[in-house]
Structure 1
Amino acid sequence: MKKQMSIVLSSALSLSLLLAACSQKEETPEAASSAKVTDAGSLPITTDKTTLRVLMYGNSLVENFATNEYTKWLEEKTNIHIEWEVAPEKSAQEKLNITLAGGDYPDVIMGFNVTPVQMSLYGKDGVFIPLNDLIEKYGVETKKMFNTVTYAKETITAPDGNIYGLPQVNECYHCTMSQKMWINQGWLTKLGLQMPATTDEFYEVLKAFKEKDPNGNGKKDEIPMSGYVNSGPEMFLMSAFVEKDMNDMIINNGKIDVAFTQPGWKDGLSYMRKLYAEGLLAPETFTQDLNGMKKMSGNPEIILGSAPSNYSGSFLPSADRVKDYAAVPPLKGPSGMKSVSLNPYGLSQGAYVISNKAKNPEAAFRLADFMFSEEATMRAVFGRPDQEWAKGGANDVSIAGEPAKWKRLVTLTGLQNYGWSQTGPSLRTSAFRLSEAAAPGTQETILYQETKQKYEPSKIDADKVVPPLFFTKDQSEELAGLSKTITDYKKEFLARAVTGDIDVEKEWDGYLKKMDGMNLKRYLQIYQEAYDAKQKK
């Protein structure tokens, strides 16, 4: 999954441009359309050819949006022609900010994942039109999406009750529990070891990896465990000591807190320190990037015992190696804690926004609504039927082990001109993704089985996960500074504690005091205010 949903905070530049633009209040366009739209759910969408001006986020995997096969198919089906302005990926956000600040808005802004802050501000100012009435009157596919993705409507609704942007839905089952640990199954088998179930057993396994020459080359070159920057072992290991979501936060009885100031976090640091001190955790963990990790795992001697990652293919040199690594189940810690971090939200906000410049907002909305249909989604993401994908055959088995609904004939990985490569609105639910045909032993089937059998039984309750939130401009601006300061210090303290640069026992109280000095309480207060506002909607 290319995009995982997270809470995006506006940059200082974005906020200044937002303020500049919002001072230029404009009237919402009249409801009358420049071309008649047909009945909800019917095609074509307009009886007369209609043109929409669209500002699109560039995609390096799409050759040309104007000549794209999916674009042609959309126009043929809907009678809507798109006049494109494509913003290059590297400068896309800057282009959006300048466009909004200048007041020369296109009819539609697509693919930018416009932030909740931007949607609230421009929506309140009338630049982005509310979509509620259009959804009620014309949203055949949007309503289906709301019914299927039960959290979607609440997530994209602003605090004022309006919906200003439509999402892209991409639910990835194994990604909802992505903080996994992968271990060399061959080494376990060779040494006669069972899959570890507790933190103590995991320690003993790593120790055996270091001391008993599981790769059989007569050298002590094995690396029992390693990670890399932004994919450290704490993501998996800390869940044996403290409950947390994937952002190291937690909701208990309606109150938001952070996991990294809890006593269990301290115990987790001490455990990781033990692993590091005994040479069971590679020093490179805190400095190497993914390329360094792949070089380590690609050593022809096979020296890597375990590593944290969403899926083993991310750090292994080739796909044929994924079968060699199995997921370590959630470990039970010394206090009996055993949990799995969770992110149940699989959508990106602001994928499609209609401006007050649209002369035919009904047609603009109907186009996005149609994109949520299964046929449109298949073409947008996977290409042409019976060329890049096809319906499942009688003998095709899905990722989930059921009769497959569809299968890929060609995987679109490089530059192509058949689909939009996950740009703009589309609807891929978890059930849809799992209905794809896949052979046993491939990465997707392994991920599904390991997640379903090992991780799902211990996942934290969804109501303990901090959901996507709408922040005000002032909250967002304040959070941007607080979040960076707090997160940087959390990472620094973790690395220094694990590597032995500081003593966890002696420095823990000082760590908590420094967090207080960084205004952690205010950080949590802002989150709590936004969460409480969401609960009142």
Structure 2
Amino acid sequence: MKRLDWKSGAAAITLCMIVFLGLFIALNKSFFNQTQTEGTGSHSIQSALMPALSDYPSSLSYWVIMNKEESAIIKNYNEMGMYKQLEKLTGTKVQFQHPPSGFDTGFNLAMIIASEHPPDVIETNWSSAQPDKAIKEGKIIRLNELIDQYAPNLSNLLKKKPDVKKLITSDEGNIYAFPTIADDPKLSIFNGLIVRKDWLDKLGLQPPKTIEDWENMLIAFRDKDPNGNGKQDEIPLIYNKESFFISYAFAGAYGITTDFYNDHGQIKYGPYEPRFKEYLALLHRWYQEGLIDQNYLTIDEKIIGTKVTQDRVGSFDGWLASDLGKYTRLMQAQNPRFQLKGVVFPSLQPGGEVIAKVQDKFIGLGAAITSTAKNPEQIAAWLDYGYSKEGHMLFNFGIEGESYTLVDGKPTFTDLVLNNPNRLPVSQALTMYTRMGSSAPFEYSVEGYDQYNALPEQMEAKTNWLKADHKKLLPILYLSADEQIRESAIMSDLLKYQDEMMNKFIMGIEPLDNFETYRSMLKKMGIEDELEIKQKAFERYLKK
């Protein structure tokens, strides 16, 4: 064989390297666009080759409201284990901006964008923030093309789940946010009615199933000293003003909701329906008779929690993890007889109609990229991480070896989460490591959710809260930009008036004889125009 001289050898080596590099890029590109599906229970986890570190932004700013469990433990998401790990994996430093709880993103979106340091990403519930209008006005950007080109994990997930893509796409064809997805029926129920089971047992009462059962139970809680301290200090039902609209609680017994709903294809609005008067009459009677906390207008979740743990509250509307689970674990040592039970939503008659709130696969929660972001392609790749196999584990379970370990190949939370040495409730211990129990750009794991809510009381509550009619509930409805402007003009003042009048009716400041006057005012303020808007949006949804 003839020996190559130095120059020709170098040329050959260079040529080989070029050919090899071309093949590597082609293969890498091909592999990047493939989807490897690995089953974990009922979830399909999308796995794709991760982009190189240089494909992620070096930094970004991220606007998001922390929930009550998170803000009780950490001051900033940078303290959360998963975000520390995400920074190591992507090289992206995130400056989180956390507004106060209760901040109205939709109302203040222009102010957020126009601030001195506008965020690159805004995570919120966009169902009420008029995303098409925000895109048209240049506040946030349309994501369809970015997802196709720079978010292979989410892109592949949407191809496999067209029903999810339908929910996250507006009627104008825009995908506006990287969504929080809860794609399993077990993930549809989070909230419901909770009673003190030990009080029921002490008084010889059965769990309530009808409105009459509830009234008899509340009267017994008021009069028969179930906490045994010799004082009439029990609060039969504690109910803050926001709770009236969370789960529909008692309104569902009257075949209505406290929001818009579908009645055999016709969109209706519960607070405008004649039967809403019956619901208000019930709450008014209970308020007058001292069965509802007399200070419901001024209390918040912290005050409710204090009263529950002081052995004063007989029943309340609460959350599966951050109320039922938290109080059950918290009170085990303090008051061993303390026992909570999630009960069915009541009907007027045994076996009668009742509507309850469940959560759809997508309810509008997600992270949008603002128009002021300088590197939207890299931000899209960073947000896409949550839908990858690795991101799925990180967002749902946190840090392997700390918040979870693999047991027989399945992620299992450790005692740092389930039996926290500092006696933190599971809902709070978990927030030190992951966004599970919150919202973020990722797909929920039903396996994680079941571990998160594994107490027998929680498992029973999920079963009981699902025993209701959900056919009248609406999916997320998208309005055109013009419809969003019209809706904003109608509903802003209407909701203020409605809220004011509802509380006046309950407290007896306004007699229920004036209910028709109230309905006439809703009509004058444009509720029937809003019903027409919602009807058209619903019909468009059905045609998708």
Match of 1:252 among 263, 266, 277: 263
Aligned pair 1:490/2:502, yes or no?
Answer: no
One-letter code aligned to 2:60: V
Is 1:519 aligned with 2:526?
A: yes
| DSSP-derived class of the 1:263 partner | coil
Change (3 A) 1:410 1:526: same
Structure 1 residues 401-425: Cα deviation after superposition (integer angstroms, max 9, x where no partner): xxx6422443495899966786752
DSSP 3-state at the match of 2:304: helix
Cα distance in structure 2, aligned partners of 1:416 and 1:345: 22
Contact 2:196 2:315 in 1 (8 A): yes
- Partner-residue secondary structure (3-state), 1:160: coil
- Do residues 192 (structure 1) and 204 (structure 2) align? yes
Quick one: distance in 2 between partners of 1:528 and 1:240? 24
SS at match of 1:63: helix
**Partners in 2 of 1:48 and 1:296 — Cα distance?**
52
Letter in 1 for 2:369: V
SS in 2 for 1:250: strand
Match of 2:515 in 1: 508
Deviation of 1:372 (Å): 0.5
Give the alignment partner of residue 465 of structure 1, picking from 473, 480, 484: 473
The one-letter code of the counterpart of 2:342 is A
Q: Which runs of 5+ in 1 are unaligned?
A: 1-34, 76-80, 395-403
Q: Deviations over 1:214-254 (max 9, x none)?
A: 2333333333222223124993111111232xx52211233
Answer yes or no: is the 8 Å Cα contact 1:174–1:448 preserved in 2: no
Please, which of 312, 316, 325 is the counterpart of residue 307 of structure 1?
316
Secondary structure of 1:251's counterpart equals strand
2:528 alignment partner AA: K
Query: Larger C-alpha radius of gyration, 1 or 2?
Result: 2
Q: Counterparts of 2:307 and 2:124 in 1: how far apart (Å)?
A: 36
Describe the SS at the equivalent of 1:194: coil
List aligned pairs for 1:60-79, cutoff 5 A: 60-63=75-78, 69-75=84-90
Partner of 2:44: none
Aligned to 1:478: 486
Alpha carbons 2:181, 2:444 under 8 Å: kept: yes
How many angstroms apart in 2 are the aligned matches of 1:427 and 1:331? 32
- C-alpha distance after superposition, 1:357-412 (max 9, x if no partner): 76783x65444333202321332454321122212459xxxxxxxxx642244349
Greater fraction of residues in helix: 2
The partner residue of 2:388 within 348, 360, 373 is 373
Residue 440 (structure 2) pairs with residue 449 (structure 1): no
Tell me how far apart the structure 2 counterparts of residues 213 and 356 of structure 1 sit (CA, whole Å).
60
Match of residue 532 from structure 1: 539
In the other structure, the counterpart of 2:63 is: 57
Q: 1:205 to 1:249 in 2, by over 3 A?
A: same
Which residue of structure 2 aligns with residue 275 of structure 1? 286
* Distance (Å, rounded) in 2 between the aligned partners of 1:47 and 1:314: 40
Distance 2:391 2:62 in 1: 18
Q: What is the SS of the residue equivalent to 2:451?
A: coil
SS in 2 for 1:343: coil
2-structure distance, mates of 1:353, 1:190: 55
Mean Cα deviation higher: 230-239 or 518-527 = 230-239
Alignment map for 1:90-489 (pairs within 5 Å): 97=110, 109=121, 111=123, 119-121=131-133, 123=135, 130-133=142-145, 135-136=147-148, 140-143=152-155, 145-146=157-158, 151-169=163-181, 176-232=188-244, 235-244=248-257, 248-299=259-310, 302-311=311-320, 314=323, 319-321=329-331, 324-334=339-349, 336-353=352-369, 361=377, 365-380=380-395, 382-392=397-407, 405-411=411-417, 413=428, 424-429=440-445, 431-436=446-451, 442=455, 445-452=456-463, 454-461=464-471, 464-489=472-497
SS of the residue 2:295 aligns to: helix
One-letter amino acid matched to 1:239: G
What letter corresponds to residue 511 of structure 1 in structure 2? Y
Q: Cα gap change, 1:480/1:136 in structure 2, threshold over 3 Å: closer, same or farther?
A: closer
Shift of 1:326: 0.9
Aligned 8 A contact 1:340 1:459 in 2: yes
Residues 356, 502 of structure 1: CA spacing in aligned structure 2 closer, same or farther, 3 A cutoff?
A: closer
Give how far 1:185 is off: 0.9
Determine helix, strand or coil for the equivalent of 2:341: strand
Percent identity, aligned pairs only, is 20
- The normalised TM-score by structure 2 is 0.72
Change (3 A) 1:216 1:372: same
Tell me how far 1:534 sits from its aligned partner: 3.7
Residues 152-201 of structure 1, C-alpha deviations (whole Å, 9 max, x = no match): 31122133324343223357978744552211111111121111221112
Aligned length: 474
The answer (yes or no) to whether the contact 1:297–1:303 under 8 Å persists in 2 is yes
Shift in Å, 1:435: 4.5
Q: CA deviation at 1:308?
A: 2.0
RMSD: 4.3
Give the Cα–Cα distance (whole angstroms) in 2 for the partners of residues 296 and 165 of structure 1: 39
What are structure 2's unaligned runs of at least 5 residues? 1-24, 35-47, 67-74, 333-337, 418-426
Q: Secondary structure of 2:92's partner?
A: strand
Q: In the superposition, relative to structure 1, how do residues 319 and 417 fare at CA in structure 2: closer, same or farther (>3 Å)?
A: closer
CA contact (8 A) 1:469 1:531 kept: yes
SS of residue matched to 2:401: coil
SS state at 2:234 partner: coil
For 1:82, the aligned partner's letter is T
- Post-superposition CA distance 1:87-134 (Å, at most 9, x none): 45469979985786699999x636466678665356558886654455
Partner residue in 2 for 1:20: none
Q: 1:270 to 1:352 in 2, by over 3 A?
A: closer
**d(CA) in 1 for partners of 2:227, 2:82:** 53
Rounded Cα–Cα distance in structure 2 between residues aligned with 1:536 and 1:369 = 29
Residues 1:460 and 1:508: Cα distance change in structure 2 (over 3 Å): same
Residue in 2 aligned with 1:3? none
| Mapped contact 1:69–1:418 kept (Cα < 8 A) | no
Q: Which residue of 1 aligns with 2:13?
A: none
Q: How far apart are residue 351 of structure 1 and its match?
A: 0.9
Secondary structure of the residue that 1:527 maps to in structure 2?
A: helix
Q: Is the 8 Å Cα contact of residues 377 and 427 (structure 1) preserved in structure 2?
A: yes
